[in-house]
Amino acid sequence: MQEIENQTLKPVKYYVAHDPKDDNYSHSEIKVKKDEVILTKSSQISDTAKKEFRQTFSDRAAIMVPQKYENLEQWPSSGTIRISANISFHLAPLP
């Protein structure tokens, strides 16, 4: 668990929520919460918090390289990133 918390303002919290679909039971979403209120608009999150989340997500992520592709240049237009499900962490607060 990683905490990046600003002491002066209230932080936002990123967490994983299970959101099953009819044809995809394992579907989940990484959601954002502030004061136990789920944020639904990107404008509600500060740019600093977004950057920190993106950097943290990228650092933790591992790109899954299929064996049939020897290097990234041979990849098709999409791929898969794997990241630990223990993604709950606090990031920079709203301004």
| Residues engaged in binding other proteins (CB under 8 A) | 16-32, 39-42, 45, 49-51, 53-55, 57-58, 61, 63-64, 72, 75-87
- Collapsed DSSP state (helix, strand, coil) of residue 90: strand
- By C-beta, is 8 or 21 nearer to other proteins? 21
**Cα(8)–Cα(6) distance, integer angstroms:** 6
- By C-beta, is 29 or 70 nearer to other proteins? 29
Give the residue carrying structure tokens 């794997």.
82
Nearest approach, Cβ of 70 to other proteins (angstroms)?
A: 13
- By C-beta, is 9 or 55 nearer to other proteins? 55
Nearest approach, Cβ of 51 to other proteins (angstroms)?
A: 7
Whole-Å CA distances, 21 to 4, 24, 25, 57: 32, 5, 5, 24
Whole-Å CA distances, 76 to 53, 65, 67, 68, 80: 26, 11, 13, 11, 11
Nearest approach, Cβ of 44 to other proteins (angstroms)?
A: 9
- By C-beta, is 7 or 24 nearer to other proteins? 24
